[in-house]
Amino acid sequence: MSNQNDPLFQPCNLGKLTLPNRVLMSPLTRSRSSQPGDIPNDMNVRYYQQRASAGLILSEATQVSPQGKGYAFTPGIHSPDQVAGWKKVTGAVHIAGGRIHMQLWHVGRISHPELQPNGDKPVAPSAIKPEGAKTFISADSGMVDIPEPRALETAEMADIVEQYRQGALNAKQAGFDGVEVHAANGYLLDQFIKSGSNQRTDEYGGSVENRLRLPLMVIEAVIAVWGKDRVGVRVSPTGSFNAMDDNNPIETFGTFARHLNDLGIGYLEVVEDSFQGNHANGRPEDVIDAIRAGFKGTYIANGAYTADEARQRIREGRCDLVTFGRPFIANPDLPERFRQNAPLNEWDDSTFYGGDEHGYTDYPTLKELEKSA
């Protein structure tokens, strides 16, 4: 196929940005920030700069506050040193011709007292332990169980919104092109949205509208900082990762999609599988239909797509853009490889989380492979 007709290489307007291709980099936790302080460093700068040919980079999930942290070594966006570290990342990506959004993160119950200020219990909509979910609290802790969280008081909701607002403001200071609100994968906002983790009896639980209340308040606060065009939202309607379950994803996420449409956000990114490529029984087309019926803006698909599957979905009008995760870990020049239909480097999952440059910034580009051949 000539590149001229390749759906992956048709430019796309995303709010005020023009993306040169539709091969986007997923938000990917890599757990390599500098300690103490969860600060982005020069190794992180190299990693993101190497991947600047993505249509858009979504940063790894980044905690908006100390309370929002759930794993050792993940970066934050709540201290001046973190803002300075991220500024180097965004500067390097821009110099390389790229664009980058920050993914704003609060983990809610997916944390551990060892990672929380004052050794506090992690917070959640309800005091429900995520059965089977794990985290790691230090380089040599291994994976540890997550204890029962503490249910947030109604009066604490304003502070949660404020954490995101401040994070959004800090991301702006750090030179990002926009932000993505992480409402997926079993973290705080997803815990509010889904019925299985939210058994509140106040105005933040119960009905779908009530469960969506806090996420929508957060998104409105972030829009007030950035403008609607530069705000995206990520959801995982059928995701089971982190012990998640919703009793009616079509209704829940169809309703959320309508609200997000009314807010006019720049894009909606949907994890279209259970987690990490588990869509053996097909994608949740009925849920996707409900979301597409409610949300008329830019739709980004995610979920272990191959290049050809992505091309087909774009051609069929099922999505506008696609985010790629693990292929982007192993192939810094992923768009060029897709353009040429070139073979891909394989990823090494033993180096996904934590560690040094190995398995992080040492995956070769096609050009580097040719030189060393």
Grouping H, G, I as helix, E, B as strand and the rest as coil, residue 134 is: strand
Is residue 249 within 8 A of residue 299, CB to CB? The reply is no
Output the smallest distance, CB 136 to ligand PHB, in A: 9
Is the Cβ of residue 69 or residue 200 nearer to ligand PHB in the bound state?
Answer: 69
Output the smallest distance, CB 159 to ligand PHB, in A: 22
Output the smallest distance, CB 268 to ligand PHB, in A: 16
Is the Cβ of residue 71 or residue 226 nearer to ligand PHB in the bound state?
Answer: 71
- The only residue of 50, 63, 185, 197 in contact with ligand PHB, by rule CB under 6 A: 185
Output the smallest distance, CB 74 to ligand PHB, in A: 7
Q: What is d(CA 317, CA 320) in angstroms, rounded to the nearest whole number?
A: 7
CB atoms near residue 153 (< 10 Å): 10
Q: What is d(CA 337, CA 180) in angstroms, rounded to the nearest whole number?
A: 26
- Residue of 48, 71, 164, 187 marked active site: 187
Strands 12-14 and 134-135: unpaired
Closest CA to 68 of 58, 86, 49, 82: 82
- The only residue of 9, 47, 48, 71 in contact with ligand PHB, by rule CB under 6 A: 71
Q: Which alpha helices (DSSP H) does 208-351 contain, by range?
A: 208-226, 249-263, 285-294, 307-315, 326-330, 334-340
Output the smallest distance, CB 322 to ligand PHB, in A: 17
Size of the site for ligand PHB (CB under 6 A): 5
Is the Cβ of residue 71 or residue 267 nearer to ligand PHB in the bound state?
Answer: 71
Site residues (CB under 6 A) for ligand PHB, limited to 11-70? 29, 61
Q: What is d(CA 106, CA 70) in angstroms, rounded to the nearest whole number?
A: 8
Is residue 223 within 8 A of residue 258, CB to CB? The reply is no
Is the Cβ of residue 323 or residue 345 nearer to ligand PHB in the bound state?
Answer: 323
- With a CB cutoff of 8 Å and minimum separation 6, the contacts of 218 are 160, 161, 164, 181, 189
Q: What is d(CA 17, CA 230) in angstroms, rounded to the nearest whole number?
A: 9
Output the smallest distance, CB 115 to ligand PHB, in A: 12
Site residues (CB under 6 A) for ligand PHB, limited to 75-114? none
Closest CA to 213 of 169, 160, 265, 288: 160
Is residue 100 within 8 A of residue 93, CB to CB? The reply is yes
Distances (CA, A) of 23 to 16, 99, 199: 18, 12, 38
When asked if residue 351 is in the footprint of ligand PHB (CB under 6 A), the reply is no
Is the Cβ of residue 135 or residue 163 nearer to ligand PHB in the bound state?
Answer: 135
Is 305 one of the catalytic residues?
Answer: no
- Here's the x/- map for ligand PHB, 139-178, by CB under 6 A: it reads as ----------------------------------------
Is the Cβ of residue 108 or residue 249 nearer to ligand PHB in the bound state?
Answer: 108
Closest CA to 167 of 260, 231, 102: 102
Output the smallest distance, CB 180 to ligand PHB, in A: 11
- Here's the x/- map for ligand PHB, 107-136, by CB under 6 A: it reads as ------------------------------
Is the Cβ of residue 184 or residue 265 nearer to ligand PHB in the bound state?
Answer: 184
Residues carrying an active site annotation = 187
Binding region for ligand PHB (CB under 6 A): 29, 61, 71, 184-185
